[in-house]
Structure 1
Amino acid sequence: MRENELKPTLGIWSALALIIGTIIGSGVFFKPASVLSEVGNTNMALAAWAAGGILTIAAGLTIAEIGTQLPYTGGLYIYMSHIYGKIWGFLSGWMQIVIYGPAIIASLSLYLAVLFVEFFGVGDEWRVPIAIFASLCVMALNMINTNYGAKAQIITTVCKLVPIVAIVIFGLLKGDEAALGQVLSHATSTTAGSFGVAILATLYAYDGWILLSNMAGELKNPQKLLPRAMTIGLFVVMGCYMLINLAIYKMLPADTIVAQGEKAAPFVAILLFGDIGGKLLNIAIIISILGCLNGKIMTFPRIVYAMAKEKDLPFAKQLAYVNPKSNTPIMAIATVMVISIIMMLFFDADYLSVICIFVIYIFYVFAFIGVFILRRRNKNGPQRSYRVPLYPITPIVAILGSVYIIWSQMVADPKGVIISIAIVLVGIPVYLLIHRKKA
């Protein structure tokens, strides 16, 4: 194997830690209030969390079949290129480099800063500097060695389960509110559009399920590890999310949850365990977000690396460089981080968390349809090591659910949708310019 290629060093525990660790981050702690405010009552809010989980599981199981056939570093970029052609692959990669990946990293860093500011009682003006500093520290860890990042992911994944288990157990036991049937005092009737926006908010919390595929080329046995880690990890995450939301509804009235907003889960921790216990639990939540941030910073630059290897980006030679001592694509990591920091300076976390999910789901729809295309192309080929369960129902659920999410966001924020699509379409002349130079 050439020195400038990433090596397969990750096993099942690293894969599970990446799946669970990159999904469970800030969303489960920061999104309960926004989901509840969209639908107006706890029953529909739980339904939105369940719908988001079912859609994510259907999506993950569907992508796993594609991933076992194309087990290469780059994930969605590789899948779109193979199924639909180079320009579609480029646009999916471009979208992840300039919008999706940096927006996720930026929003996570900003959410972490919210907790940090609250914990230490410093002014809100420190949020952005703290967010930038935290992300740069995680970036440095991932530049040193891929295995360091993977080990940090395992440790933080274990740590992040502590606040979830504590809030779930004690919240369900000690809470005296009626978890089901609570209605906001200012609630209006739930519409199809508002329910879709609520699901979109949950999908930020579920986001990260596809990121393991970005590192498929670094798994020791991707044909087996990818679907196994995807299946186990997604069911664990969905169970955690449903239980923690039930615990929060059991502890707080619906109006209080919405009033607390991003601070609802930390507020519950203080109610359950007092100031000291609440602060300790908040530290665990901060570690949880750091672990999620680590997983994102570990995986997103692999898209830059994969595109640069195919000479699909300017400065491809530099962006594809892998440090031979650390086995990390250091220039790709730095590039993603620069864009993320720019986003931290100009946008708030909530906006970033919504718009990045909308954009990625446009391409997810095409990827899910790709399962049908690949089966037709390879119907006379060798038996696949993994086939999506309940085919064709599972990919159809993933497709229809994703279309519903896209439609809901188009109704809720048409201006933001137009801007996002325009940024993606800017990739077309960029692609043509790059390939004209190559020709």
Structure 2
Amino acid sequence: MKQQENVTLNRALGLPAALALVIGTIIGGGVFVRQAAVINDAGSAKAAILAWIAGGILTLAAGLTIAEVASQIPSTGGLYAYMEEMYNELWGFLSGWVQIIVYGPAMIAALGSFLAILTSAFFHTNPIWNLPIALGSIILVGIINIFPNKYGASFALITTACKLVPVAALIIFGLFYGHADALGQSIKGIHSTTGGFGVAMLATLFAFDGWILIANLGGEVKNPRKVLPQAISFGILAVLAIYVLVAYGVLKSIGAEKVHELGTAAIPYIANHDFGNIGGKIICIGIIISIIGCMNGKIMTFPRIMYAMAERKQLPFSKQLAYLNPKTRTPIFSIFVVIFIAAVMICLGSADRLSELCIFTIYCFYVMAFVGVFLLRKRNPKMKREFSVPLFPFTPIVAILGSLFVLISEVMSDPIGVFISLAIVALGIPVFYYQVYKRK
């Protein structure tokens, strides 16, 4: 296998494609299945809406902070590249290691599994087909991303447009035809076990996750110093508005008590009850497409981290993982490896737990990246920036405090999981030093 020296990543993604990838990667299943969890923890409809707003504001602060970093380090690999540039090679490697070995594949696997479960629930298929559907979905989306990146970007645009159908339906029906008291209801009988406003906000943060992944495509975005900040900022703002309106529409459609009673089945209930059999199926198909679009964004972005690490010869089999197909200019072997790991996780049924375990370590690296904004400004005080975070230093401080809140919440709620997630990070240290030794 010989890599042609002049083969590089195809810098073909403009603002519409980048924006679609941000929105498409964030809006997956979270907004459709987290409604009950947020309301249950918040205890009232009004508190639930405020939790969605607070989660969105924290995510926006994080996105605006990273947007400034992205404008100065517009490299393939996103968070991995930022950590290496702002700190050192080891910290960059460890942030990439967690994302390519566990977090990325686990997120892809979880989406595939959730897609299969929803397909079974919506269309009453035999559960025996869940595993083939989950595996088939990630393989098909992976094949799309083997072709030139314009196809993955086009698929992102199409799925983002399609996923707006159920979103718009839930919002419009709730606003104009819903009769429940959207903001005046509280949940009876669960206050002894409710997690409170903080935990409710934490649940919304998971639904906002994925906003940073567009940064992994820094080497394939046109004018990345300008486009990446715009895509991250406008994308998060759009998702914030969508999430708050969906939450309000759901509450106005059936009320907080019914959402609590139905749990994750609340959205399917609204689809079938309010839109009829055919309309309900259209809404359900839109939700499935939404998950596929989210999956596409992750399959398009996570292998780019593996490719960037392999280019620096930081991984075993770096020559193969850094290979770009001369015709498609995509890292085909990195895509294959990420899909393979995700497929194994689906078969083992461990995707959800593994993705939860890595949330802690991902937010550790987020905090370091947010602090990095101050480091970059100190190192390069006279550097002209294409994008500067608004309300500096207040915005980065909000992002840091919000992420610390997530970390503390994880330590208190799942100390064993935190230990395991740190152990996964530690496993990367001997790999890093072995690769450093091989390069000498």
For the aligned pair, the TM-score class normalised by the smaller chain equals over 0.9
Unaligned runs of 5+ in 2: none
Alignment of 1:238-387 (within 5 A): 238-347=240-349, 350-352=352-354, 354-380=356-382, 382-387=383-388
C-alpha displacement of 1:189 = 6.1
1:432 equivalent in structure 2: 433
C-alpha displacement of 1:47 = 2.0
1:140 maps to which of 133, 139, 143: 143
1:4 equivalent in structure 2: 7
2:157 equivalent in structure 1: 154
C-alpha displacement of 1:432 = 1.5
1:55·1:397 contact (CA, 8 Å) conserved in 2?
A: yes
1:21 equivalent in structure 2: 24
Question: Within 1, Cα distance between the matches of 2:135 and 2:184?
Answer: 41
Count of matched residue positions in the alignment of Structure 1 and Structure 2: 437
C-alpha displacement of 1:422 = 1.0
In the alignment, is residue 50 of structure 1 matched against residue 53 of structure 2?
A: yes
Unaligned runs of 5+ in 1: none
1:172 equivalent in structure 2: 175
C-alpha displacement of 1:65 = 0.6
Cα gap change, 1:409/1:347 in structure 2, threshold over 3 Å: closer, same or farther? farther
Question: Within 2, Cα distance between the matches of 1:261 and 1:344?
Answer: 24
Question: Within 1, Cα distance between the matches of 2:246 and 2:347?
Answer: 32
1:66 equivalent in structure 2: 69
Question: Within 2, Cα distance between the matches of 1:222 and 1:168?
Answer: 33
- TM-score for the superposition, normalised by structure 2: 0.95
Please identify, of 117-126 and 390-399, the stretch whose mean Cα deviation from structure 2 is larger: 117-126
Q: Supply the AA of the counterpart residue of 2:228.
A: L
Cα gap change, 1:189/1:370 in structure 2, threshold over 3 Å: closer, same or farther? farther
Question: Within 1, Cα distance between the matches of 2:129 and 2:186?
Answer: 36
Question: Within 2, Cα distance between the matches of 1:343 and 1:359?
Answer: 19
Question: Within 2, Cα distance between the matches of 1:212 and 1:70?
Answer: 13
Cα gap change, 1:134/1:367 in structure 2, threshold over 3 Å: closer, same or farther? same
In the alignment, is residue 80 of structure 1 matched against residue 83 of structure 2?
A: yes
Question: Within 2, Cα distance between the matches of 1:208 and 1:356?
Answer: 13
1:52·1:202 contact (CA, 8 Å) conserved in 2?
A: yes
Cα gap change, 1:288/1:295 in structure 2, threshold over 3 Å: closer, same or farther? same
The SS at the match of 2:211 is coil
C-alpha displacement of 1:37 = 2.3
C-alpha displacement of 1:40 = 2.5
- TM-score for the superposition, normalised by structure 1: 0.95
Question: Within 2, Cα distance between the matches of 1:414 and 1:427?
Answer: 21
2:94 maps to which of 91, 94, 98: 91
Deviations 1:258-294, CA, capped at 9 Å, x for gaps: 3333222121111221111101111111111111111
2:43·2:196 contact (CA, 8 Å) conserved in 1?
A: no
Question: Within 1, Cα distance between the matches of 2:148 and 2:384?
Answer: 36
Alignment of 1:394-409 (within 5 A): 394-409=395-410
1:100·1:359 contact (CA, 8 Å) conserved in 2?
A: no
1:91·1:424 contact (CA, 8 Å) conserved in 2?
A: yes
The two structures, once aligned, show a CA RMSD in angstroms of: 1.7
1:188 equivalent in structure 2: 191
Cα gap change, 1:247/1:58 in structure 2, threshold over 3 Å: closer, same or farther? same
